[in-house]
């Protein structure tokens, strides 16, 4: 079986899209706004789901959305022919609760679980495959990262700030991949009131710290502000990225 025909039947991908888009400044959450892609205009979340449906053709794909947007998500999956590939999960009050809800729906026989931000619609293939390969090789988790290019300053308790060495920091992306049993158990035993920035931090709280840092991509942007959609469109329409 070639790399392009990889067996993904033992993989579950959780796409988190339950946000309300409060920072985006739109009445419609950013994941439902249209982005222009080589395959035409479609909502950001559909572009993301279509990407993974093509990359991991046999994987279980779960998309987590807020309850008030479930019917809309159902209509969009129907409209773009993804109803048979994607299952909708009701989101929780926090991202951690949303992922926990999705973990309850993971199919039997799943060995690896990936968790991805629904508003990262053009993740390059190599980013996905390198992270997945890392957990298949035995890592307790794989986290795509990129270098920090801006100068950084650390805020201090007294209100001052101090420069820090940006070479000691990495910017974290998704999808993050984990062995299924480890991730499910870490979520099951997590502190109910715990604050977790991502899924790797849930595993760290459970004592699993063998996290492999894999290559992310500057093209794998997270759509946070309106201008990000325009930037993502430029990347998406690039023949180099769309071919990956």
Domain coordinates of the chain in residue numbers?
3-242
Classify 3-242 by CATH class.
alpha beta
Instruction: List the chain residues with pLDDT less than 50.
Output: 1-3, 242-243
Q: Is the dihedral of CA 101, 102, 103, 109 positive or negative?
A: positive
Instruction: Indicate whether this model's pTM tops 0.75.
Output: yes
Residue whose C-alpha is closest to residue 232's, from 240, 220, 244: 220
- Distance separating alpha carbons of residues 163 and 26, to the nearest angstrom: 35
Strand locations in the chain, DSSP E?
11-16, 34-37, 40-43, 60-65, 86-90, 112-117, 141-147, 152-155, 161-164, 170-172, 176-179, 211-215
Confidence at residue 237, expressed as pLDDT on a 0 to 100 scale: 80
- Distance separating alpha carbons of residues 170 and 149, to the nearest angstrom: 9
Confidence at residue 1, expressed as pLDDT on a 0 to 100 scale: 42
| Measured CA angle at 153 (ends 152, 158), to 5 deg | 165
Which residues, 6+ apart, have CB-to-CB distance to 171 below 8 Å? 145, 146, 147, 148, 216
């Amino acid at each position: 079986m070639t790399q392009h025909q990889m067996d993904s039947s033992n993989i579950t991908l959780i796409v988190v899209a339950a946000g309300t888009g409060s920072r985006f400044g739109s009445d419609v959450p950013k994941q439902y706004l249209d982005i222009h892609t080589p395959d035409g205009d479609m909502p950001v979340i559909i572009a993301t789901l279509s990407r993974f449906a093509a990359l991991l053709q046999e994987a279980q794909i779960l998309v987590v959305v807020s309850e008030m947007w479930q019917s809309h998500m159902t209509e969009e999956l129907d409209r773009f022919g993804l109803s048979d590939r994607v299952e909708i999960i009701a989101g929780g009050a926090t991202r951690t609760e949303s992922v926990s809800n999705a973990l309850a729906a993971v199919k039997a026989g799943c060995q690896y679980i990936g968790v991805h931000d629904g508003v990262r619609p053009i993740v390059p293939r190599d980013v996905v495959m390198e992270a997945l390969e890392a957990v298949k090789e035995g890592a307790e988790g794989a986290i795509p990262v990129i270098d920090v290019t801006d100068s950084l300053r650390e805020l201090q308790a007294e209100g001052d700030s101090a420069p820090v060495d940006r070479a000691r920091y990495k910017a974290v992306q998704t999808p993050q991949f984990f062995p299924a049993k480890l991730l499910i158990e870490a979520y099951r035993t997590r502190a109910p009131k715990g604050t977790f920035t991502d899924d790797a931090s849930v595993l760290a709280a459970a004592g699993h710290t063998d996290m492999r840092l894999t290559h992310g991509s500057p093209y794998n942007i997270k759509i946070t502000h309106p201008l990000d959609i325009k930037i993502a469109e430029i990347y998406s329409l690039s023949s180099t990225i769309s071919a990956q």
